[in-house]
Structure 1
Amino acid sequence: MLQRSSVVNTMKVTSASFASTIQLGDSRIINGFSRALAVQREADMFYGKEGNFSNYPLFSEPIPLLPITERLTITTHNPLPIIKVNTISILAMSSSAILHVGNSDTVSLEARVKHIRQLFHTEDEQ
C-alpha cells in the first residue's frame, strides 16, 4: 500500500454516531457495520420484547456482491507523498459513515435499518 502523509488544517465534525469512522492517515482495512430498528408509534407503549434483530429476515439476508468484470487500467502519478486538505466541515455522520483522508486497501460498510410504524386503527379500518 502506498504510504503518504495526510495533513488537514481544520476539521469540524459536529456529530459522529452509530459505527461512523473518522480516519486521518493510511489504513489497511476499514469495516463499518450498523443495524437499527426504527419504531414509530402513536403512543408510548413498550411490550418488553422489542429489539430482537433475529425476528426480521432483513438483518440476516446476505448482501449480494457482484464481481467486477470490467477490465481496469489505472495509471497513478504522485510526485509528492502528501495529501493536503484545507478545511473539512461536517454537520453529522451516522450509520456506518466514513470520513477518511489517506489511503486504504479494503473498505466495507454496511447499514441495515428496519422502519416500523405502529398506528392505532380506527373502527372504519377494521
Structure 2
Amino acid sequence: MSILLKRTSIVHNIKVINVGLSSIFEIGDSLSISPRSKAWALQRQFELFYGNEGHFRDPVFTRPLPKPDFDEHVCFVRYNESPTIKVNNIFVTAAAASSVLHIGSTQLIDSESRVKHIRQLLHGQEANDE
C-alpha cells in the first residue's frame, strides 16, 4: 500500500471555461478519482428520430477494457526540496469525456470514456463539412 504524499499546492490564479461530460475539477487531496462517461451519438444527414434508438448493450460499452498488468517492482527515492508546489497562472479551455483537472495529490485515477458514434448518410452522398 502506498502512502499519499502530503504537499501544499499554491495556485495564484486559475480560469476554467468548461468542465463537462463526467469530468472532475478537484482542488485538494484525494485517495481515488473514477470518472465514467458513456455516449451514444447518431448523426444523420436529415433530422429523423424513430423514438426507440440507442442502447448501451453494444459491445463497445459492455466488453471489459484491457488493463495493464504491472508486475514490476520499482524502487526510487524522492527528495522534495520544498513542501509546496507553486504555479502562477493556469488557463483551461475545457475538460471533457471523463478527464481530471486536479490541483493536489491523489493515489489512484481510473478514468473511462466510451463513445459509439454513428453517421448515416443517404446512399451515394458524401459528407459535407460546411
State the TM-score, normalized to the length of structure 2: 0.86
Q: How does 1:63-102 map to 2 (within 5 A)?
A: 63-102=65-104
- Find runs of 4+ consecutive structure 1 residues off by over 4 angstroms: none
- The alignment of Structure 1 onto Structure 2 pairs a total of residues equal to 121
- The one-letter code matched in structure 1 to 2:7 is R
What corresponds to 1:121 in structure 2?
A: 123
What corresponds to 2:34 in structure 1?
A: 31
2:9 aligns with one of 1, 6, 13: 6
Q: Quote the Cα distance in structure 2 between the aligned partners of 1:67 and 1:108.
A: 14
State the TM-score, normalized to the length of structure 1: 0.88
Q: Quote the Cα distance in structure 2 between the aligned partners of 1:95 and 1:44.
A: 25
Q: Give the % identical residues.
A: 40
RMSD: 1.3
- The one-letter code matched in structure 2 to 1:41 is R
Q: For residue 25 of structure 1, report the CA deviation from its aligned partner.
A: 1.6
Q: Quote the Cα distance in structure 1 between the aligned partners of 2:76 and 2:19.
A: 33
